[in-house]
Amino acid sequence: MAERLFANVHPELLIWARETSGLSLEKAAKKLGMRPERLAQIEAGQLKPTVRQLREAARVYKRPLAAFFLRSAPPAPPSVHDFRRAAGEQIEEPSPALLLELRRARRRRAVALELLSELEQQALRFDLWTDMSEPPEEVAARARAWLGVTSEQQASWTGEYDGLNGWIAALEARGILVFQTGDVGLSEMRGFSLADQVLPAVVLNGKDRPKARIFTLMHEFTHLMLNMAGVCDPLRSSWRTNSPDARVETYCNRVAGAVLVPRAELTRLDDVRSVGAPIEWNDAQIRSMADRFAVSREVVLLRLRALDLASQDFVSSKFAEYRREYAAKASQPQSGTGFPPVYRLALRDNGKRFTRLVLEALERDRITLADVTDYLGVRLKHLERIADAVRATNVEEPV
């Protein structure tokens, strides 16, 4: 029998790796293929893990093997506020998948800062601030001007992903990192933000519909302007409470809607110009307005309500109708060609801005190929396709 090799690691690092991964002792032991009692003994320092067990722990906890040989556990990152919880509402602790995405976003941002320094490039500072005393329409007007997106540009976005790609490009051009993920359940998170003066970040749930992601993007962008980062679900109905978090989320929704559908542009449309009181809009009118602004029907309804052009009862009934429609569609067998290519998913999740930065650092010999595969989370065989996609003007997003 081959000799078993044991790893000499500090037990506190094993505890740190498990707890920051969001795993209980019992769940971690199950994933590691050992009894909870044995894992408890290892974490207490009564037993040493084998090298094989340590490698398995690195895989399960999504940590590099070298992390277990640090002198001490790294300090805990600052907590991210949870805006999904209404007053008195109980929401489960973040899943391991969500905690991992928070770690990935922080690491990508740290890597981006290092690469900018290596390339002797200056990172843009985020300088667009507001507070909730400023009317949403005014904040939205400043935000659109700051982003530089014109009405003509927005009207030209006719494809399913044109609007999403266009708005992401506008944020990235102003120094905001935009990432996405397909690993977190949509019921847990639609987006979150990390507020910093340099390289703030927004993370979107790639499982969401493209136009729904646009609204989440603008919602999180408003969180950055407020310097109130957090985990969000912009469509939670529980916000109708008057809790502090509910007021923040409502404000972010109003700003997001006004950025995407400016009052002046909406009221200039033929269907809207002559309306003087709330009415019930037909489906063709709602769809036409949504297409004009490359947004979802829900965003149009939110704007009509905000401008007192539709009643709350009408808007609520349409939202319920759309939820039933989406649920029915999701329950039907989906036809298609299978999973999206790895290179597209990698570019979606890492974002064009971050990916470009990594590839530029490689071209200028500031990092190695091993670094690239680590930073982008892909194998070398996908690198050429990723580079081609980054150079392309438009990248078709995976569904």
Is 126:198 a contact under the CB 8 Å cutoff?
yes
pLDDT digits (tens, 9 = 90+) for 253-297: 999 999 999 999 999 998 898 887 888 999 999 999 999 999 999
Judge whether residue 166 has pLDDT over 90.
yes
Residue 60: give the domain boundaries.
Answer: 11-69
Asked if residue 54 and residue 117 are part of one domain, the reply reads: no
Please tell me the predicted confidence (pLDDT) of residue 330: 80
Mean pLDDT of the chain: 91
CA 388/CA 302 separation, integer angstroms: 39
Last residue of a domain, one of 171, 203, 232: 232
- Domain assignment present for residue 137? The answer is yes
> Does 44 reside within a domain?
yes
The total domain count for the chain is 3
Residue 186 has pLDDT above 70, yes or no: yes
Q: Distance (Å, rounded) from C-alpha 133 to C-alpha 255?
A: 12
Instruction: Name the percent of the chain lying above pLDDT 90.
Output: 79
Find the Cα–Cα–Cα–Cα dihedral 251, 253, 257, 260, rounded to 10°. 110
Q: Looking at residue 399, what is its pLDDT?
A: 28
Residues 75-118 have pLDDT tens digits of 888 778 888 765 555 667 889 999 999 999 999 999 999 999 99
Predicted TM-score (pTM) of this structure = 0.91
Answer yes or no: is 76 within a domain.
Answer: no
* 155/196 Cα distance (integer angstroms): 32
Residue 13 reports pLDDT greater than 80: yes
In a domain, 52, yes or no: yes
61 with 132, same domain: the answer is no
Co-location of 115 and 221 in the same domain = yes
State whether 18 and 128 are in the same domain. no
What is the reported pLDDT for 246?
Answer: 87
Q: Indicate the pLDDT class of residue 395, thresholds 50, 70 and 90.
A: very low
Q: Provide the CATH number for the domain around residue 43.
A: 1.10.260.40
In a domain, 180, yes or no: yes
CA distance 160 to 211: 8
Is the model's pLDDT at 241 over the cut of 80? no
Asked whether residue 60 carries a pLDDT value surpassing 70, the answer given is yes
Could you tell me if 139 and 194 lie in one domain?
yes
Single out the residue in 199, 232, 265 at which a domain terminates: 232
Asked if the model's pLDDT at residue 32 lies above 60, the reply is yes
